[in-house]
Amino acid sequence: MKDEKAAKALIKKLDKLLRSKMTPIYKRYGVSMQNVLTPLMWKPLVLVIGNYSSGKSTFINELLDMPVQRTGQAPTDDSFTILTCPAEGESEEEIPGGTIVSDERLPFAPLRPFGERLFSHLRMKKVKSPILENFAIIDTPGMLDSVTEKDRGYDYLGVVGELARMADLIILMFDPHKAGTIKETYQAIRSTLPGSTGEDRVLYVLNRIDECDNVPDLVRAYGTLCWNLSQMTGRKDIPRIYLTFAAKEGDVPPQGVESWVSEREELKRAVETAPTMRINHVFQEAERGVRELDLQAEALAAFKNGFGARVQKALKIGLLVSLLVFWFGDMLLKMAAGFPKTTLLGSLFSGAFDDKVLVFPSLAALLILGLTGLVINYFIFPRFKKNTLEDLDSLIPFETAYKRDLWGRVRHRVSNCIEEEGYKQVWIGHSWYQRRLKKFLDKDIGRLKNKW
């Protein structure tokens, strides 16, 4: 398709632009570009998550029109399964998790830190399916109640967060029997997804509505889900919830759900828009990553300027004291100790100026300046650093809610830079880097977006 070819060409240009212009700045601030570059790799991704027995695998089988994933009422699969089509000349196969995360052609390197316990619960299935030629689908283990990392052997929600960051579309499924009451689902909606993806990339689905006994039963399940979502998202305006059921192509819809046949088809069409959503996703991630770096530079520039103001004040005081000591220090010493015999001012006023009278004033003035430097190094800077870390949010003016959200993502990075490399940061030209970042956002990315 023409649009797909244009999209791939545009993504390739964006990747090249990010690597050539942003890599030096990212290195300067010790930030990995992985989160920015990962969405540009491979193909569009659809992530399917939800509590166990919500119908995730059944829905995927229906999309592919073949029984690829195991299904059942109880938890049937404890693995993250990436479904894609084999390349030309390849055959259908299953690839283990260790191979997946080590393949530089794939975007799953961010899963390496989760360790080998995850790798044994990660696999890729290459399946010949027309729909998988356009995007890949990731099926996930069902979310459970009262589960800890120790119970699963790996950080399940952490893995979901990384996959959500890569995904162009996320389908979050519920069923009428557990409409948003699963503990891991609550944590995912409340914390994991907001930190990894935008709301526009999440589709909420109440599946298996054909299992409701009657319409009042369905209304109660829907109302329960709406209430739980309002508590989990902290919002009163509830996102759209697709109502659907499991059925094979050509099957007669179960009795009582005929009204939702069109909505079920609409959900399928929404899933198939993942490739077109990818462009918005990659630009969104690229812009967000650069804006995060810009905000980090802004905060460190504020730290540098704040310390610079205190240094200037200390130097002014030190210089003033050194001047007073230079002109009057030898006089005070002579009054107290009878030494030296000839003072600088006395020599000037007597008209018998001797170079030797400059030795003591000069040494005394230099000593004061040296002491000023020690005060700055061992007293002013540590105190300023400590006060800054205690009130880190004061570094940045939050003009918009978006800026505050970005700050939540980079705050720990700023804190680490100040804590570990405080002195180094005061010598970096943060304002210059800010200008380069803003130019990249306003001109370079803007020019590419206008081509779409």
- DSSP, residue by residue, 167-227: -SEEEEEE-GGGSS--HHHHHIIIIITTTTS-GGGEEEEE--GGGSSSHHHHHHHHHHHHH
- Mean pLDDT in residue range 428-451: 90
Please give the CATH topology (third level) of the domain spanning 43-272: Rossmann fold (3.40.50)
Q: What is the reported pLDDT for 2?
A: 45
Task: Give per-residue burial for 4-34: e unless 16+ CB within 10 Å, then b.
Answer: eeebeebbeebbebbeeebeebbeebebebe
Residue 309 has pLDDT above 90, yes or no: yes
pLDDT the model gives residue 78: 78
**Per-residue pLDDT tens over the stretch 143-191:** 876 555 456 788 998 999 999 988 999 999 988 877 766 778 878 888 8
Q: In the chain, where are the structural domains located? A: 43-272, 293-449
126-135, 216-225, 300-309: least confidently modelled range: 216-225
**pLDDT tens, residue by residue, 315-374:** 999 999 999 998 888 888 878 877 777 777 778 777 777 777 888 889 989 999 999 999
Lowest mean pLDDT among 72-81, 107-116, 170-179, 288-297: 72-81
pLDDT digits (tens, 9 = 90+) for 364-381: 899 999 999 999 999 999
Band (pLDDT 50/70/90 cuts) for residue 1 is very low
Least confident of 3-7, 58-62, 393-397: 3-7
Taking residues 186-214, report their average pLDDT: 83
